[in-house]
Structure 1
Amino acid sequence: MAIRSKLINLVILILLLAIQNTAQAKLIKCWQNKAGVRECGSAVPPEYSQTRIEFINERGLIVKVVEAAKTPQELAAERERKHIMKEQEDLRKEQARLDSILLNTYTTERDLLLARDNNLKAAQGQIDISRGNLKLLQSNFDDLQNQAANFERTGKQPPSHLIVKLDKARELVKQKKIHIESKEVSKNEMLEKFKRDLTRFKELKRGRIN
């Protein structure tokens, strides 16, 4: 019984497809030629098969439309448009995530300003400590440099171990200066972020109130 039922369903499907194909074959197809003139017929010429095709029934009504195949340029433009839309959606989601973090972290503007001041104080404290260490390193370098100069003033070559210490001290001073500059940049970036966060926080709060 199951096999017979499947056979019946298959026959019905074939008949429906045949009816559909017959009905579609009776439709008039219309297209636009290279001169921009609308032409119609029972079959579309091969050279116009990729253009916009309209199917018209016996009453002269358009019952189906097959749009023209897109050109490589149109496909590229569509891909670019989708890419831009995806980027915009990603940015929107990321902004929503950051807004949620901002509102969950701070209740009032005062909380945000207090956090800014505490972070600034901590960052400046680290910079001050590094500057103190730099003074010690610079003092040690100056002392070693004076020792080397004393040898040279007497016409003697500074000992190799002194040269090694001097080079090492010079490198330590250089690296410490770079470290301090990096800390200063980080501090300024932090202040700019707090400035942006404060502006955004005000906007979000106004939006909620309004």
Structure 2
Amino acid sequence: MIKIGRRGLMNAPGVSLSACALAVLAVALLPLPVSAGIKCWTNDDGVRECGNTVPPEYAQKAHRELSKEGITVSTTERAKSKEELRIERAEAARTEAIRAEKERKIRERKAKDRVLLSTFTTENELALVHEGQVAAIDIRIIHTKQILGQLERSLEQLHTQAAKLERRGKSITPELENRIAKIQQKMQDSHTFIERRRRQKAEMAAQYTEDVARYRELKGIKKAN
């Protein structure tokens, strides 16, 4: 074992110059302790300060750690505020909702494609089903119009009765008023029903056009000119 006294390693007997150089190099290559880093932050007055540790009051703010040579070793971003975290979470939730909706539409489209291909073997079958659905709605509209005609005639008769009472100087009875109100409500309901069925037909026509186009695409059928 080599002992180093007050005279130093260079003057120790039996120690060569190369051994001394290796010893110095080994010491130089030892890693610096963590505490050797210098941390810099900005105080409340906007002044940059540096030290071995960041004061507690600035620990949540951005700061950098520098080496002895002044080179940035690491950077710590400031802690986000509650409002920033709330906005960040809301944005993440919105992005996730958009992604989930896209995936839902893809699954829905695939399910419809399977039904379309498994239900109809030809485009003609698709047309026949659509025509049958439209015919069923038309029948209901026609039937409702017939009922509406009957209600109109009944209402006309009640109005005639009310007019006769007024000509005699008599008031319309509560019973007659009630009958008139009920028929008027039924007529309004009938008009609403017919309008809904007409909208349904328009929606079905649009859906049929979409289904035919998709069916042709899945089957590789080119549209005839």
TM-score (normalised: structure 1)? 0.65
* Pairwise CA distance, 1:137: 1.4
Equivalent residue letter for 2:137: A
CA distance in 2, matches of 1:46, 1:28: 18
* Pairwise CA distance, 1:65: 4.9
Aligned counterpart, 2:8? none
Aligned counterpart, 2:158? 144
Equivalent residue letter for 1:86: E
Q: Identity percentage over the alignment?
A: 23
Query: 5 Å matches for 1:40-119?
Result: 40-55=50-65, 65-107=75-117, 110=123, 112-119=126-133
CA distance in 1, matches of 2:33, 2:211: 63
* Pairwise CA distance, 1:25: 5.2
CA contact (8 A) 2:137 2:201 kept: yes
Q: 1:202 to 1:73 in 2, by over 3 A?
A: farther
RMSD of the alignment, in Å? 3.7
* Pairwise CA distance, 1:157: 4.0
Higher relative contact order (CA 8 A, sep 6+): 1
TM-score (normalised: structure 2)? 0.62
Segments of 5+ residues of structure 2 without an aligned counterpart are 1-31, 221-225
Secondary structure of the structure 1 residue equivalent to 2:39: strand
Secondary structure of the structure 2 residue equivalent to 1:106: helix
CA distance in 2, matches of 1:105, 1:36: 70
* Pairwise CA distance, 1:132: 1.5
Q: 1:120 to 1:161 in 2, by over 3 A?
A: same
* Pairwise CA distance, 1:112: 4.9
* Pairwise CA distance, 1:104: 1.4
Aligned counterpart, 1:30? 39
CA distance in 2, matches of 1:198, 1:83: 37
Segments of 5+ residues of structure 1 without an aligned counterpart are 1-22
CA distance in 1, matches of 2:194, 2:47: 72
Structure whose alpha-carbon radius of gyration is higher: 2
* Pairwise CA distance, 1:143: 1.9
Higher helix share: 1
CA contact (8 A) 1:51 1:68 kept: yes
Aligned counterpart, 1:174? 188
The count of residues paired between Structure 1 and Structure 2 equals: 183
Secondary structure of the structure 1 residue equivalent to 2:60: coil
